[in-house]
Amino acid sequence: MDSVLTLHDLGGRPPSGTALAVLGHPIKHSISPAMHTAALDEMARTEPRFADWTYRRFDVPPEDLPVALSRFHALGFRGLNLTVPHKVIAFDCVRSVDPAARPIGAVNTLLWTPEGWHGHNTDGYGLAAAVREKLGRPLAGAPVLLLGAGGAARGAAVECLQQRCAGLWIANRSADNLRRLLDLLAPLAGDVPLRGFDPLHPPADLPEGLLVINATSAGLRADDAPPLDLAHTPRPVGVYDMIYNPPQTPLLAAAAARGIPHANGLSMLVHQGARALEIWSGATVPVHAMRSAARRALRL
């Protein structure tokens, strides 16, 4: 995998060819360069214009992000991906934002325009595509039980509502954070039922056929407790965990033990990345190449 660069490595001259980058802090763990490079290599076989496209990763502290965005734009980078903690910070730094990303209040994909960066958020697209691919379920028309009320949950909730899910139930242990998220989502919900609850005390009227989506960090460590006890809810039709490393979280292990279809977040990572490359290139992106590269990078 490529080395980690910093702003000191940018220099003052535009890069040769078409340059893409991912910015984060930390960024060493990112497998985005491996995914995008694999896709670009395959695209270049049939379209020579992609032969000089490159994708690098830059470690940029959050306090340096506004200056960094200005420098990358001045140097003519075609596009940027943003990861933690930059997605929310960048929202107020870009020139314009795609309408679908505005309710999320965060951007993860920036496209160069002469006037400035245009921000997109491809996480919701990635989630919807991943759930459809791995669990055979569209978000549209599905009753969804979402775990978490942080930034990842906010993006997932907005996507569910924009897709017109059958209902959205959000479980979170912090009542204050839950209330803030529900208040933010209420104008988007329209006639879609929107409810919140403490995951330790699920309501008795949860519907059958729930699609469970974990947007919390519970599961990153092997000794984490599952964010929801599946034994205390109606049997879900599927469980999707946004965490991809480790590949099996305690929540997914619980789903497997009950014979419930389940999947981790690697497919979401791949699809959101593919959508970003589509935005930058205007071309069809080989998702299979990105998926294979991601698996190799994670040694799966």
**Nearest of 223, 226, 169 to residue 192 by alpha carbon:** 169
Whether pLDDT at 124 is above 60: yes
Nearest 5°: CA angle at 139, between 101 and 187? 50
Q: Which CATH class is domain 124-263?
A: alpha beta
Structural domain boundaries of the chain?
Answer: 4-121+267-297, 124-263
In angstroms and rounded to an integer, the radius of gyration of the C-alpha atoms of the chain is: 19
On whether the CB atoms of residues 267 and 134 are closer than 8 A, the answer is: yes
Whether pLDDT at 1 is above 60: no
* Distinct helix (H) and strand (E) counts, the chain: 9, 13
Same fold yes or no, 4-121+267-297 and 124-263 = yes
CA atoms lying within 13 Å on the CB side of residue 8: 2
Condensed to tens digits (0 to 9), the pLDDT of residues 152-182 reads 999 999 999 999 999 999 999 999 999 999 9
Q: What is the pLDDT of residue 222?
A: 86
Query: If you average pLDDT over residues 269-290, what whole number do you get?
Result: 98
Instruction: Write out the two tokens for 153.
Output: 């949950």
pLDDT band, residue 10 (cuts 50/70/90)? very high
Condensed to tens digits (0 to 9), the pLDDT of residues 37-51 reads 999 999 999 999 999
pLDDT band, residue 80 (cuts 50/70/90)? very high
Whether pLDDT at 132 is above 60: yes
Q: Is 134 a catalytic residue?
A: no
Instruction: Write out the two tokens for 285.
Output: 């992106």
Query: Of 87, 137, 154, 262, which one is the catalytic site residue?
Result: 87
Instruction: Write out the two tokens for 24.
Output: 């984060």
pTM: 0.95
- What secondary structure letter does DSSP report for 50? G
Q: What is the mean pLDDT of the chain?
A: 96
Q: What is the pLDDT of residue 239?
A: 98
- Tracing tokens 């075609």 back to the chain, one arrives at 78
Measured between alpha carbons, how far is 25 from 111 in angstroms, rounded to an integer? Answer: 20
pLDDT band, residue 20 (cuts 50/70/90)? very high
Q: Using DSSP, state whether 184 is helix, strand or coil.
A: helix
Measured between alpha carbons, how far is 86 from 244 in angstroms, rounded to an integer? Answer: 20
4-121+267-297 adopts what CATH topology?
Rossmann fold (3.40.50)
Query: If you average pLDDT over residues 94-111, what whole number do you get?
Result: 96
Q: What percent of the chain has pLDDT over 90?
A: 96
- 183-206 as b/e: b if 16+ CB within 10 A: ebbeeebeebebebbebeebeeeb
Beta bridge partners, 112, equal: 117
Measured between alpha carbons, how far is 241 from 233 in angstroms, rounded to an integer? Answer: 17
Q: What is the pLDDT of residue 6?
A: 96
Q: Is 123 left (phi over 0), alpha (psi -120 to 50) or beta?
A: alpha
Whether pLDDT at 11 is above 90: no
- What secondary structure letter does DSSP report for 78? S
Phi and psi at 264, nearest 5°, equal -95, 180
- What secondary structure letter does DSSP report for 131? H
Q: What is the pLDDT of residue 227?
A: 96
On whether the CB atoms of residues 170 and 181 are closer than 8 A, the answer is: yes
